A and B are shown apart, each in its own frame.
Chain A
Amino acid sequence: MLELTINGKPVSAPEGVTLLQCAKLAGVKIPTLCSLPGIHTNGSCRICVVEVEGQKNLMASCIVKAQNGMVVKTNSERVRKARKILYDLVISSHPKDCMSCGRNQSCELQELGYTLDISTARIPNKSTRAPIDISPAITRDPSKCILCRRCVTACNDIQGVGAIGSQNRGFETTISPAMDLPLLGVNCAMCGQCSAVCPTGAIVETDHIGRVWAALSNPSKRVAVQVAPAVRAALGEEFGMEAGTRVTGRLASALRELGFDDVFDTNFAADLTIMEEGAELLRRLQAALTGEGAVLPMLTSCSPGWIKHIEHAFPGQLDHLSTCKSPHMMLGALIKSCYAEKLGAEAKDFFVVSVMPCTAKKYEIQRPEMQNNGYPNVDAVITTRELGRMIKSAGIDFAGLQESDFDAPLGFSTGAADIFGVTGGVMEAALRTVYELATGRELPSDNLHLTPIMGLDSIKEAALKFEDVKPEYGFLEGVTARVAVASGLKNADVLMHQVEDGASPYHFIEIMGCPSGCINGGGQPRMAGKPEDYKVRRMKAIYAEDESKALRKSHENPDVLALYKDYLGEPGGHVSHRLLHTTYTERGNFNELIAT
Chain B
Amino acid sequence: MRNAIIKSPSDLAALRDAIRTQASTYKFTVYICGGAGCVSSRCDKVAEALRAAVDSAGLSNDVRLVVTGCIGLCAHGPCMVVDPDGVFYGDLTPEKAWSIADRHLRGGELVQELCYFDTDRGEYLPYMKDIGFFSEQVKIALRNCGRVDFSSLEDVVAHDGYFALAKVLTDLGRERTAQELIDAGLRGRGGAGFPTGVKWQSGMNQPGDQKYIICNADEGDPGAFMDRSVLEGDPHSVIEALAIGGYVIGANKGYVYVRAEYPLAVDRLGKALDDARAAGLLGSDILGAGFDFDIEIRIGAGAFVCGEETALINSIEGKRGEPRQKPPFPFQSGLWGCPTIINNVETLANVPAIILNGAGWFASYGVGKSRGTKVFALAGDIVNSGIIEIPMGMTLRTIIFGMGGGMKGGRAFKAVQSGGPSGGCLTVAHLDVSVDYESLSAMGAIMGSGGLIAMDENTCLVDTARFFMEFVQDESCGHCVPCRSGTKRMLELLLKITSGRGAPEDLEELQELAVIVGQTAMCGLGQTAPNPVLTTLRYFKDEYLAHVVDKQCPAHVCKALRIYAIDPDKCRGCAACAAKCPAGAISGVIRQPHSINTDKCVKCGVCSDACKFDAVVC
A and B touch in the complex (CB under 8 A): yes
* Residues in A lying within 8 Å of B, measured CB to CB: 42-47, 49, 56-58, 60, 63-65, 78, 81-82, 85-86, 89-90, 92-93, 122-123, 126, 146-147, 166, 168-173
The reply to whether A43 and B482 contact each other, CB–CB distance below 8 Å, is no
Q: Is there an interface contact between B476 and A170, defined as CB atoms closer than 8 Å?
A: yes
Expressed in whole angstroms, the Cα–Cα distance for A46 and B526 within the complex equals 12
Interface residues of B in 495-529 (CB under 8 A from A): 509, 512-513, 516, 518-522, 527
If A82-B520, A170-B475 touch, whether A46 touches B480 (CB-CB below 8 Å) is yes
Q: A43-B480, A44-B479, A173-B478 are in contact. Are A82 and B519 (CB under 8 A)?
A: yes
Q: Knowing that A44-B479, A46-B481 touch, tell me 20 more A-B residue pairs with CB under 8 angstroms.
A: A44-B481, A46-B480, A46-B521, A49-B520, A81-B516, A82-B520, A85-B486, A85-B512, A85-B513, A85-B516, A89-B486, A90-B485, A92-B489, A123-B489, A166-B322, A169-B478, A170-B475, A170-B476, A171-B476, A173-B484
Residue in A closest to B480 when the chains form the complex, CB atoms? A44
Q: How far is the CA of A123 from the CA of B506 in the complex (A)?
A: 11
Instruction: Write the chain B residue with the least CB distance to A56.
Output: B519
The answer to whether A86 touches B516 (Cβ under 8 A) is yes
Q: What are 15 A-B contacts defined by CB distance under 8 Å? A: A42-B325, A43-B325, A44-B479, A46-B521, A47-B481, A49-B520, A57-B527, A65-B327, A82-B520, A86-B481, A89-B489, A92-B489, A147-B478, A166-B322, A169-B477
* B interface residues, Cβ below 8 angstroms from A: 303, 320, 322, 325, 327, 473-482, 484-486, 488-489, 492, 509, 512-513, 516, 518-522, 527
Chain A residues whose CB sits within 8 angstroms of the CB of B520 once the complex forms: 46, 49, 57-58, 60, 82, 86
Q: Which of B480, B512, B520 has the most CB of A within 10 A?
A: B520
Distance in angstroms between the alpha carbons of A123 and B521 in the assembled complex: 19
Contact of A171 among B325, B484, B518 (CB under 8 A): B484
Chain A residues positioned under 8 Å from B488 (CB to CB): 171
* Cα distance A146–B479 in the bound complex, in angstroms: 11
Knowing A44-B479, A44-B481, A170-B476, the reply to whether A82 touches B516 (Cβ < 8 A) is yes
Rounded to whole angstroms, the CA-CA distance of A109 and B519 in the bound complex is 22
Contact B481 A89 (CB under 8 A): yes
Closest chain B residue, CB of each to CB of A33: B481
Minimal beta-carbon separation of B98 from chain A (angstroms): 51
Contact of B477 among A47, A57, A122, A170 (CB under 8 A): A170
The DSSP consensus for interface residues of chain B is helix
**What is the bound-complex CA distance between A132 and B283, given in angstroms?**
55
A126, B485: Cα distance in complex, Å: 11
Q: State A43–B475 Cα separation when bound (angstroms).
A: 19
Shortest Cβ-Cβ A-B pairs, 3 listed: A173-B478, A89-B485, A170-B476
A185→B199 CA distance, assembly (Å): 48
CA distance A412 to B522 in the complex (A): 56
Instruction: Give complex CA distance A451, B529 in Å.
Output: 57
In the complex, residue of chain A having the shortest beta-carbon distance to the beta carbon of B483 = A170
CA distance A408 to B327 in the complex (A): 61
Complex CA distance for A78 and B516, rounded to whole angstroms: 9
Chain B residues, CB < 8 A from A170: 473-478, 484
B482 to chain A, nearest CB (A): 6
Contacts of B486 in A (CB 8 A): 85, 89
| Chain B residue at minimal CB-CB distance from A122 | B509
**Residue of chain B at shortest CB distance from A47:** B481
A122 to B493, CA, bound (A): 13
Report how far A56 CA is from B518 CA in the complex, Å: 10
- Of A64, A123, A172, which one neighbours B478 at CB under 8 angstroms? A172
Decide: A60 near B522, CB < 8 A? Known: A44-B481, A166-B320. yes
B527: A residues at CB distance < 8 A: 57
Contacts of A126 in B (CB 8 A): 492
A contact face: mostly helix, strand, loop, or mixed: loop
A45: B residues at CB distance < 8 A:
480-481
Q: Chain B contacts of A82 at CB under 8 A? A: 516, 519-520
Shortest CB–CB separation between residue B164 and chain A, in angstroms?
36
Q: A47 contacts which chain B residues (CB < 8 A)?
A: 481
Neighbour of B522 across the interface among A46, A78, A173, CB < 8 A: A46
Instruction: A86 to B484: give the CA distance in the assembly, Å.
Output: 11
Q: Which residue of B lies closest to A167 (CB)?
A: B320
Smallest CB separation, A292 vs chain B (Å): 48
Could you say which residues of chain A place their CB within 8 Å of the CB of B327? 64-65
Nearest A residue to B305, CB-CB: A169
In the complex, what's the smallest C-beta–C-beta distance from A117 to chain B, in angstroms? Answer: 17
Q: How far is A146 from B477 in the complex, measured between Cα atoms in Å?
A: 15
Q: For residue B477, which residues in chain A have a CB less than 8 angstroms away from its CB?
A: 169-170
Shortest A108–chain B CB gap in Å is 14
Nearest to B520 among chain A residues (CB) is: A46
Closest A residue to B484 using CB positions = A171
Closest approach, in angstroms, between the C-beta of B323 and any C-beta of chain A?
A: 10
A81 / chain B contacts, CB cutoff of 8 Å? 516
Q: How far is the CA of A60 from the CA of B326 in the complex (A)?
A: 11
Say how far A427's CB is from chain B's closest CB, in angstroms: 35
Which residues of chain A have C-beta atoms less than 8 A from B512's C-beta? 85
Q: How far is the CA of A56 from the CA of B521 in the complex (A)?
A: 12
Task: Let me know if A60 and B325 touch, CB within 8 A.
Answer: yes
Query: What is the distance, in angstroms, from B37's C-beta to the closest C-beta of chain A?
Result: 30
- Given A44-B522, A170-B474, decide whether A89 and B320 contact each other with a Cβ distance below 8 A: no
Asked whether, in the complex, the Cβ of B478 is within 8 Å of the Cβ of A86, the reply is no
With the chains together, A92 CA to B513 CA distance in Å?
Answer: 13
Give the Cβ gap from A170 to chain B, nearest Cβ, in Å.
4
Residue of A nearest to B518 (CB): A57
CA–CA, A122 and B475, complex, Å: 25
Residues of B contacting A56 with CB < 8 Å? 519
CA distance A60 to B521 in the complex (A): 9
CB neighbours of A169 from chain B (8 A)? 303, 320, 476-478
Separation of A262 and B522 alpha carbons in the complex (Å): 55
Q: B489 contacts which chain A residues (CB < 8 A)?
A: 89, 92, 123
Q: How far apart sit A89 and B479, CA to CA, in the bound complex (Å)?
A: 14
Chain B neighbourhood of A64, CB < 8 A: 325, 327
Rounded to whole Å, the gap between the CB of A523 and the closest CB of chain B is 29
Cα–Cα distance between A330 and B325 once the two chains are bound (Å):
49
What distance in Å separates the Cβ of B313 from its nearest Cβ neighbour in chain A?
Answer: 16
Give the most central of B320, B322, B519: most A CB within 10 Å.
Answer: B519
Tell me, rounded to whole Å, the shortest Cβ–Cβ distance linking A216 to chain B. 43
> Which residues of A sit under 8 angstroms from B484, Cβ to Cβ?
147, 170-171, 173
Residue among A47, A123, A126, A172 facing the most chain B CB atoms (10 A cut-off) = A123
The closest CB in chain B to the CB of A166 belongs to: B320
Q: In the complex, what's the smallest C-beta–C-beta distance from B314 to chain A, in angstroms?
A: 12
CA distance A147 to B483 in the complex (A): 13
Task: Please indicate the chain B residues that have their CB under 8 angstroms from the CB of A60 in the complex.
Answer: 325, 520, 522
Look across to chain B and name the residue whose beta carbon is closest to the beta carbon of A173.
B478
Q: CA separation between A166 and B481, bound complex, in Å? A: 15
Instruction: Find chain B residues with CB under 8 A from A49 CB.
Output: 519-520
CB distance from B553 to the nearest CB of A (A): 25
CB-CB nearest in chain B for A34: B481
Complex: how many Å from CA A45 to CA B478? 11
Give the nearest-CB partner of B321 in chain A. A169
Whether B474 and A86, one on each chain, are in contact in the complex, defined by CB atoms closer than 8 angstroms, is: no
- A43–B488 Cα distance when bound, in Å, is 19
Closest to A172 in B: B478
Q: Given A166-B320, A170-B475, A63–B325 Cβ distance below 8 Å?
A: yes
Query: How long is the Cα–Cα vector from A93 to B485 in the complex, in angstroms?
Result: 8
Q: How far is the CB of A88 from chain B (nearest CB, A)?
A: 9
The complex places the Cα of A279 from the Cα of B251 at a distance, in Å, of 60
A-side contacts of B322, CB under 8 Å: 166
B479–A42 CB distance below 8 A? yes
Q: Do B485 and A58 touch across chains, with their CB atoms under 8 A apart? A: no
Chain A residues whose C-beta falls within 8 Å of the C-beta of B522 in the assembled complex? 43-44, 46, 60
B485 contact set on A, CB distance < 8 A: 89-90, 92-93, 171
- Give chain B residues whose Cβ lies under 8 Å from the Cβ of A65: 327
A89 touches B478 (CB 8 A): no
Q: Kindly state the separation between the CA atoms of A123 and B473 in the bound complex, as whole angstroms.
A: 17
Q: Which residues of B contact A78 (CB under 8 A)?
A: 519
Rounded to whole angstroms, the CA-CA distance of A63 and B480 in the bound complex is 13
A412 to B444, CA, bound (A): 75
Interchain nearest-CB distance for B326 vs A (Å): 9
